[in-house]
Structure 1
Amino acid sequence: MTEALDIVIIIIASGLGIGLGWLLAKMKFSTELVRAEVEAQAAQGNKATLVAEMESVATAVARQNSEDFLRLAEERLGKVQSEANKDYDARKKEVELLVSPIKEHLEKLEKATNDMEKNREGAYQGIKRMVEGLQEQTTNLRDTNVKLSTALRGSIKARGNWGQVALKNIAEAAGMLEHCDFDVEVTLKSGAGGARVDLLAKIPNGGHVPVDSKVPLAAYWDGLEMDDGEARALKMKEHANDVKKHVNDLAARDYPRLLEGTDFTVMFIPAEPILSTAFEYEPSLQEYAFSKHVLIVTPVTLLALLRTVGLYWHQQSMAENAREIHGQAKEFYERATKFSHDLAKLGRNLNTVVGAYNDAVATYDSRIIPSGRKLEALKVTEGMQKTMAELPEVGSSVRDIKHLKRDDDDE
């Protein structure tokens, strides 16, 4: 748009310059002509009069030339303005056609930006609420962990309860609730006294797997709170020795001697890091436990063990079901066999009854009906509501049970 206006202004200025030059040349030529005439008259007459006339004529010529110049300039300027307006309108329409799609896209972009901003604000508020919730949960979890840590540090019974609750949850997850004694500690009687175990997992055919929960935490937590590497290593080594002491304690109790169907005791530690740290500082700990007929497990490995036992129970249940199905099938077959023989006997009896019935009908038709008809003809039956009925014979016999015919004949 600016370039078009600049071109129009240049054209107008050029036209005005050309017109002005033409008028100036014309004025100069007219002035020289008048001057020549004056000089000729001056040569013949009054010089002053000629000069005055010359000035008057020059003034008139200049005024006329100025008016002509102004009129011409106005005409040219009006024409140029008209053409410029037409060109401006045309270019304006072209520019509007070019700008209109851009304007629409900009409006759509603005709308999309506003929507995006609203969505971003909503998402930001949602994330903010989520972060605040996580912060609150983290705070609650930290407080709970502090309370749990304090409780487990200060009470051996609390640690024992934690282990027993973990045992119950794992037994439930393994689907072994009905095959485990875990609600109370089981007392095993022996000739030399008694022993207590936290859980007894029953296995098919009367066997048991003893599981005892141990939570060695004192040295482990002390080591976690130490910043010095050497001091921490010493505490963790002490922790590994504590685990080893529990192994020796379970080995001394000798649960397999008091139970049937097993030759090892399961020592359950309810947290994986507690055992993995002990293995880190005492790599041969598991082999040592095996030599003492003790198997050290964590929640994951105990779950796998109990699910394996549960699989044995499932297989036994399937075997028992198969035996039950076999017994039921045998009993059903015996009952069906007896019923078939009874049915065959009933068929034979029905055939005998049908034969006797047909014989009676024949006697009835041949001897009784004729006498009755004679009595009806003699009006003996007047006043009676019923007359003698005609009895049809039974034409079909009872179908034999072919597969039992030989057995029936044998009978």
Structure 2
Amino acid sequence: ALIIVALAGLALAFVGVALWRLSSRAPAPHLQAECDRLAAALAQAQERSRGDAEAQGRLHAALEGARQAAQELETLRAAADSLRDALSLEKGAHATAARELAERKSEVAALREAQATLQADATRIGNDLAQAQANLQHARKAEGEMRAFIEDAQAKLSASFAQMAGKVFEERGQQFEKNVRTATGQSKADIETLLKPFAEQIHQFRQRVDTVYSDEALERAKLAGAVEKLHSLNENMAAKADALTRALRGNAKVRGDWGELMLENVLRASGLEAGVHYERQQSSNDDEGRLLRPDVVVRLPDERRVVIDSKVNLIAWQDAMNADAPEAQHDAMRRHAVALRQHVKDLAERNYPKAVGETALDTTVLFVPIEGALSAALGADDALQAFAFERHVVFASPNTLMAVLRVVDRLWARDKLQKQAQKIGEAGGLLLDALSGFLADFDRVGAGLQKAADTFRDARNRLTESPQAVLPRARRLAELGARGKKALHGDLQPDDETLLLEIPDASDD
């Protein structure tokens, strides 16, 4: 627009110069027409300049509207960023709330487990107490019935005895009076014979009463023993609970010994033998020369080994179990998970498998002797399991470790069977080799015997059947009367004994 205005001004200047020149000269008709044309063009240029100025105004208005729209867009972008930040904060709060909800759920599960354990103990103790009370009530009832029976029996026996005694005394009195009248006296033996049935009845009654009282005393003793046993059982349970609490809260040595004892119980229950299938406190040195002693090194077939560690700190878990407030329990569970995570770091730094040797698996088993303690730690820290896996550490509770050790026991049994089968195969191979050698020797012996038989047959043929045979000649000598000191063999006997001739000895000449 400014350029157009400048051009219009320049055109006006040219027109003015032209008019001045025309005014100084004689006007011509064509010049007047040219001036009119230029004036009309100038008017059009001015009109066009005014239109351009209006367009420029509208352009400025549009630019101002665009600037305002850009400012509003920036305002909307800032509001969107604020909403995005608020949404991120809301997502973080939601994740935190979800994590806290999961922690609360794990806490509720642990509390429910502890409550179930306590309820089971309370139910068992209540059942024992109810049984003891029932036994006591039954004994008291039996005692009352026995007392009533004894009193009733005593009353009946007393009445019967009084009636019988009165009747007998009356009869005996009459008889005695009669006898006294008929005789001057009666011996003491006759009186004892008369009173003997009553003495026997009194003795039987006394034995029955003594038996009833002895049975009652025995029942009381049994009841007292049951109550005392229940009392001692409760005291023993309380003592074991106190001992467990002291062990968990004691020094590191006591906690380590308790964990090793629990691990030893699991190892023995799995069927493995100490010194054969596993070793305790095996010493080894790492690359830096430090002395390391893993709790247990379990042997596997093919000279493989697995390291098990049981030194776990359960003080925080015990605090969580004894906490009254949910906040205190949550804090104790958090400390328990942190302690277990730190123990995983310690095992990863020690690297027991590398110190044991190349035959050891590159994973250390971390034994937690209480099922609830392990589940509570994994519930409090969702990333604890993955954290341990990354550092070649595997958690094991008594149940899971028992399953693993059972598998190890089966592997040893299978290895034993395989070795036995290998030995049987080797023994069978040796037996087959020996049998093959024997058969070869037997064949050689048979061949030798056959050769000897052939030789024997040839020799006998030469002895008996060949033209130069010796036997016919010897038989001929025997026929001619030759005699030896021994009896002739059957093959040397002459065919016709009548042809025998006596050959005179040289001495007869």
User: In structure 2, what is the equivalent of residue 212 of structure 1?
Assistant: 309
1:311 and 2:410 correspond: yes
Please state if 1:141 is matched with 2:237: yes
Q: Is the 8 A contact 1:251 1:292 kept in 2?
A: yes
Change in 2 beyond 3 A, CA 1:332/1:257: same
d(CA) in 1 for partners of 2:227, 2:479: 115
Q: Determine whether 1:292 maps to 2:391.
A: yes
Residue in 2 that maps onto 1:175 = 271
Change (3 A) 1:302 1:180: same
Q: 1:143 to 1:371 in 2, by over 3 A?
A: farther
Residue 226 of structure 1 corresponds to 323
Is 2:307–2:352's contact at 8 Å kept on the other side of the alignment? yes
Aligned to 1:333: 432
Distance 1:267 1:347 in 2: 72
> What secondary structure does 1:162 align onto?
helix
How far apart are 1:201 and its partner, in Å? 1.8
Alignment of 1:248-259 (within 5 A): 248-258=345-355, 259=357
Percent of paired sites with the same residue:
29
SS class of match (1:175): coil
Q: For 1:14-49, what per-residue CA distance to the aligned partner results, in whole angstroms no more than 9, with x for missing partners?
A: xxxxxxxxxxxxxxxxxxxxxxxxxxxxxxxxxxxx
Amino acid at match of 1:215: V
Are 2:266 and 2:402, in contact at CA under 8 Å, matched by a contact in 1? yes
- Report how far residue 248 of structure 1 moved: 1.6
Quote how far apart the aligned CAs of 1:378 are.
Answer: 8.6
Q: Does 1:265 align with 2:364?
A: yes
- Work out the CA distance in 2 between the residues paired with 1:348 and 1:326: 32
**Structure 1 residue runs without a partner (length 5+):** 1-118, 392-411
Match of 1:241 in 2: 338
2:451 aligned to 352, 357, 365, which one?
A: 352
Residue in 2 aligned with 1:13?
A: none
- Provide Cα deviations, 1:195-241, integer angstroms capped at 9, x if missing partner: 33111123334432211112322222233333333223322322222
The alpha carbon displacement at 1:131 in A equals: 5.3
Deviations 1:57-112 (A, max 9, x none): xxxxxxxxxxxxxxxxxxxxxxxxxxxxxxxxxxxxxxxxxxxxxxxxxxxxxxxx
Give the superposition deviation at 1:249.
1.2
Q: In structure 1, how many angstroms separate the alpha carbons of the residues matched to 2:279 and 2:381?
A: 31
CA distance in 1, matches of 2:340, 2:427: 54
Residues 143, 388 of structure 1: CA spacing in aligned structure 2 closer, same or farther, 3 A cutoff?
farther
CA distance in 2, matches of 1:368, 1:360: 16
Give the number of equivalent residue pairs: 269
Deviations 1:354-384 (A, max 9, x none): 3444566674894598479769x99976xxx
1:162 aligns with 2:258: yes
Q: Distance in 2 between matches of 1:231 and 1:291?
A: 31
Structure 1 residue 271 displacement after superposition: 1.9
TM-score scaled by length of structure 1 = 0.54
Superposed CA offset, 1:303-324 (max 9, x none): 2222323334444444444443
> Distance between the aligned counterparts of 1:303 and 1:279, measured in 2?
20
Q: What is the distance in 2 between the residues matched to 1:369 and 1:131?
A: 118
Deviation at 1:192, TM superposition (A): 5.4
Q: Which amino acid in the other structure matches residue 255 of structure 1?
A: Y
What CA deviation, in whole Å up to 9, does each residue of 1:329-357 have, x standing for no partner?
A: 33322222121111011112222333444
1:10-409 alignment runs, 5 A limit: 129-130=225-226, 132-177=228-273, 180-191=277-288, 193-258=290-355, 259-260=357-358, 261-357=360-456, 363=463, 366-367=471-472, 370=475, 387-388=487-488
Give the 3 Å change call, closer, same or farther, for CA 126–309 of structure 1 in structure 2.
same
Counterpart of 1:136, as a letter, is: S
Query: In 2, are the aligned partners of 1:163 and 1:215 still within 8 Å (CA)?
Result: yes
The aligned amino acid for 2:242 is: V
- What is the identity, as a one-letter code, of the residue corresponding to 1:336? L
Q: CA deviation at 1:159?
A: 1.6
2:395 maps to a residue whose letter is I
Q: Which runs of 5+ in 2 are unaligned?
A: 1-214, 465-469, 492-509
Paired AA for residue 173 in structure 1: A
Q: Which amino acid aligns with 1:139?
A: E
Residue 296 of structure 1: CA displacement? Answer: 0.9
- CA distance, structure 1, for counterparts of residue 477 and residue 483 of structure 2: 11
- Is the contact made by 1:219 and 1:236 (CA closer than 8 Å) also made in structure 2? yes
- Could you say if the C-alpha distance between residues 128 and 347 of structure 1 is closer, same or farther in structure 2, counting changes exceeding 3 Å? farther
Distance 1:388 1:176, change over 3 A: farther
Counterpart AA for 1:343: F
CA gap of 1:354–1:236, structure 2 versus 1, over 3 A, is same
The aligned amino acid for 2:310 is S
Looking at structure 2, the residues matched to 293 and 201 of structure 1 have their Cα atoms a distance apart, in angstroms, of 17
Q: Is the 8 Å Cα contact of residues 370 and 398 (structure 2) preserved in structure 1?
A: yes
Give the C-alpha shift of residue 276 in structure 1: 2.3
1:378–1:170: structure 2 CA closer, same or farther, 3 Å change rule? same
Q: Would the alpha carbon gap of residues 144 and 298 (structure 1) be closer, same or farther in structure 2, given more than 3 Å must change?
A: same
Rate the CA distance shift 1:334–1:180 in 2: closer, same or farther, 3 A: closer
Return the alpha-carbon distance in structure 2 between the equivalents of residues 373 and 134 of structure 1: 117
- Give the distance between the partners of 1:299 and 1:230, measured in 2 at CA: 29
